[in-house]
Amino acid sequence: MKLYSTALVAGLLLALVGASGAAAGPAVTHSTTVRVKATDFHYMLSVKSVHHGRVTFVLRNAGHASHNFAIAGHKSKTIAPGRTTRLTVTLKRGRYPYKCTVDSHAELGMKGVLRVT
């Protein structure tokens, strides 16, 4: 009986240690990729809403002029027609305006708002 009680207590201790280790683990962070097609003068995003965390924007310039992508104080490289670039940012919950900062492209329609949940 004593051996059974000792094994039971040891098993409970291991379960508690395992549970506390799981609770102390790193927080889950979301990682999302958003495809952005830039044309003259419009963006088409693959999604209009993403989870908070790390977001990678893959910008493909399908237009005839050079374009870039700016969001949350970060800006991609300006790329020529037919080229692709990436911009990775970490976003908290909220609404984030994005735009092309080349010349007056934003005023011509290259802007929008991304919702982050």
- Sequence spans of domains, the chain: 30-116
Strand order in the sheet with 74-75: 49-50, 111-116, 94-99, 70-71, 74-75
* Per-residue model confidence as pLDDT tens digits over 20-51: 444 444 555 679 999 999 999 999 999 999 99
Cα–Cα distance, 17 to 37 (Å, whole number): 49
Residue tagged 């929008």 (tokens): 112
Cα–Cα distance, 77 to 75 (Å, whole number): 7
pLDDT at 109 over 70: yes
pLDDT at residue 23, as a whole number? 46
pLDDT at residue 52, as a whole number? 97
Cβ within 8 Å of residue 23, ≥6 positions away = none
Q: Which CATH superfamily is domain 30-116 in?
A: Cupredoxins -  blue copper proteins (2.60.40.420)
pLDDT at residue 19, as a whole number? 46
pLDDT at residue 30, as a whole number? 75
What is the CA 23 to chain-centroid distance, rounded? 25
Cα–Cα distance, 85 to 16 (Å, whole number): 48
pLDDT at residue 48, as a whole number? 96
* Per-residue model confidence as pLDDT tens digits over 50-96: 999 999 999 999 999 999 999 999 999 999 999 999 999 999 999 99
Cα–Cα distance, 81 to 85 (Å, whole number): 11
